Amino acid sequence: MFGVIILLIIYSVLGIFIQTAPPIFDTDLLAKPDFLVMLVIFVSLTIRNVNGLILCFVLGLIFDLSSTVYLGPNAAGAVFSFMFIHYISQKIFAEHFSGLFVLGLIISFLKQSICLIFFYAFDISFGTYRLIGGISEAAFTAIFTPLVVLSLFWLSTGSSGTSASKKKKTLSRIVSKHRTS
């Protein structure tokens, strides 16, 4: 568990750095992948109890503090995303590459929708810029989610000294539930 938290801290710092960095190209239509979504997906698939929910909330607060705009939208998006993933991962093969791609796309749209609800509560409108930016952010997030989440799976099971049988059990948990239903 301690190794997983250290990995999440490292990826959070990396994600905050990437998301707050100035754009490489001089266009507003290109977005950056949402690392909060990727971390929430990883936590939701590995820590499936109240500790995972609290950890997702704390990750959301960290990303809210780094945005310096509002305190709460990312935290709420992380909590709702955790609950959605917790529900849906029992019904689909979420730890597969394509499953993570689709999950990244869905969760990115879910988190963006929750953030927009918070922003509209304060009467801030974004118009088509936010719609196009949201679509491109969701696409980039979906592309990078399988790579980041699978590397976190590999690093967390490898760095904690977990045996090969426990790694196999962790990664095949959803497969066995899918086959029995």
> For the chain, what are the domain ranges?
34-148
Best CA proximity match to 157, nearest among 15, 49, 53, 45: 45
**DSSP one-letter code for 90:** T
Instruction: Please tell me the predicted confidence (pLDDT) of residue 137.
Output: 85
Other Cβ atoms less than 10 A from the Cβ of 87: the count is 10
What pTM was computed for the model? 0.76
In 32-96, which ranges are continuous DSSP H helix?
35-46, 50-67, 73-88
Looking up tokens 């909330």, which residue turns up?
57
Q: What is the pLDDT along the chain (181 residues), one digit of tens a residue?
A: 677 777 777 777 777 777 666 665 545 556 778 888 999 999 888 888 898 899 899 988 888 888 777 788 889 999 999 999 988 877 777 668 888 999 999 999 998 888 888 777 776 666 555 677 778 888 989 999 999 888 888 888 765 444 444 444 554 554 454 455 5
Q: What's the burial of 133, exposed, middle or buried (CB within 10 Å: 0-12/13-18/19+)?
A: middle
Give the pLDDT of residue 25. 53
The CA distance from 150 to 153, in Å, is 5
What pLDDT does residue 28 have? 52
Phi, psi of 107 (to 5 degrees): -70, -35
Alpha-carbon gap, residue 152 to 11, rounded angstroms: 9
